[in-house]
Chains A and B, each alone.
Chain A
């Protein structure tokens, strides 16, 4: 099978969905210029009406996406960088997440907000955020965090076809590696976790870019005779509790890995679910491997040790085996 990278996968998803449904259009800063590498060829194919450069005015264009969705369009907003979402926070939380509910089901907002996460790359505190946990606290948003080119394409296509607002957090640490992606069309349903590797001794639930670290860690653990099962939630809201709990019921141990800051992280929520609903299956405490509660510093020797990596995951898992 042919191999493509994460950005190519996202680009194919956009091409296919814009071809399929003329209500779908892309807007955001520099989208027609393919600034990030995921919108190449779109403006040439679909024109500037549907591949719409915006002013640097996040509240304005995110709110405009909400209005366009309410009248039957299917906008895809590219935030360029995830922390730019903060400029549009009120539009995301007060308008996009709440309108269907607040108006008693009269409003429908089929839109996608794509947010690239540049971390582990020397961009310092204001540009390196992994802010999906903030949005997990807001009811009414669906949130996906693809961890491979295959997932990126299949999940983004489903998100564009969904009738609710979906936030897609695109992990910059995954962009360069290539992987097999079929040329035939496929979709990955929202709300379903995937067991990325089967195992019997410890469950490693990993989010976004941490999934690749968890798979490397599982290889290392296998050398020690520890069989790790790697579960990727893929959709962070709503979480697929059943798949996570079924895995923990099988293994009796859980490590939850998340590149976000530890407090109220996706890992915190998943660990709480395991502790609350899977406690009687546990043979050891639940462990989180996350980014500690400090800002992301610029200098590489400061930045690099902060994130989850295979050796921290291996250490956490080994600690549960004694």
Chain B
């Protein structure tokens, strides 16, 4: 099968799945006669999306900005901290359990505290997104660097490599596939974090992001607009996830078993 045909197949199956779900939803709402303010049909959501397209596009841009900056901060901090923790066994033993416990704290619970430390608005969305996205990157980086093939470690010992050189030439590149997996998870979480930050900080007016649009639409009983905004948060998450997946594919597709196996499965 050619590369184009397998690419079409890779896109066609998920699209078919979405089309089936939307079709069942539309027909289900029409047949059951459920009130549209409780569950609007996909056609009503599409109409609301079209009618409010300017406002929704601007809101999506603001949410995407908060999520993306938060994600980049989390990625940089997670990779840096994870590498330091993985490199120093004492830190791995002392800090890793603490990080695991801290990630159990729901961001919604600490969001009011965050208001004390940063301004409402975009800074709040960025911080909230970064906090939620940090742990998957940190954990994946530590696990990736801790799982280096012992045989390769031995090889570097044989050649007298210093710990820092071994980290740069072996541990870090070895952990890239695991870190990319952590980044992909973090991409989705960053959008959730950004929306939570928006909910809490409540900035609005002409600069309202999707989180505020959702809250305002709920107050106005515009369930169709709520669904439209929710759908757009998914688009933001998917775009971030897709971008990271693409970068990850560029980095590891030529040599890592996960990418090789994936392409073989598609044949």
Physical interaction between A and B:
no
